[in-house]
Amino acid sequence: MDIKQMKNIIACLFVGLLCASPISSAEEVYKVSADDALTIIVFGEKDLSFSGIKIGTDGNLSFPLVGNIPVAGLTTGQIEEKIESLLKEGYLKNPQATVSIKEYRSIYIYGEVRRPGAYPYQKGLTIEKAIVLAGGLTARASNEKVTVVHEEEPEKIIQTKRNARLRPGDIVTIKESFF
């Protein structure tokens, strides 16, 4: 067995291990939606590579040569495959695209906080941290009456604790205390 064959075997084993391991990165299972900003790199194609390209409110991504691509509800891996497939149709011989999340859509916090509004989502963001972003609680705020509505489940209002983790697009309401 020569060196080239040995390298190929090692590469196949490495890829096999990656495929067999559970997905650990939140970005791999995260499904994009309107107002997320992506970084898209098409290898060797500077004119087809972008940083901070936003997904429109219609869930589409406007991409050169291929036009609007419906991407809402897809993972970054699925978007990569879609871009490569569309570019293969008459534009490039073997396109290789990489897609990553540059900026998540905002979370919204209102109710009894000093500065209600939209705030950028960051990985690991909890309700407590969102309260700090919103300038803290008002004097009338309840410490226990906190609700969250996830963007993908708008009909479901969740009563929760302040250490709960948030997702992009969440709406947090801090209720008023009556005592």
Give mean pLDDT, residues 160-177: 92
Instruction: Tell me which CATH code domain 107-176 carries.
Output: 3.10.560.10
CA nearest to 166, candidates 137, 139, 131:
131
Residue 160: pLDDT band (50, 70, 90) is confident
Sign of CA pseudo-dihedral 46, 100, 118, 61:
positive
Q: What is the predicted pLDDT for the residue at 172?
A: 96
* Domain residue ranges in the chain: 26-103, 107-176
* Homologous superfamily in CATH for domain 26-103: wza like domain (3.30.1950.10)
Measure the CA–CA gap between 162 and 132, rounded to whole angstroms.
11
Q: Which tens digits make up the pLDDT trace of 67-118?
A: 999 999 999 999 999 999 999 998 899 999 999 999 999 999 999 999 999 9
Residue 144: pLDDT band (50, 70, 90) is confident
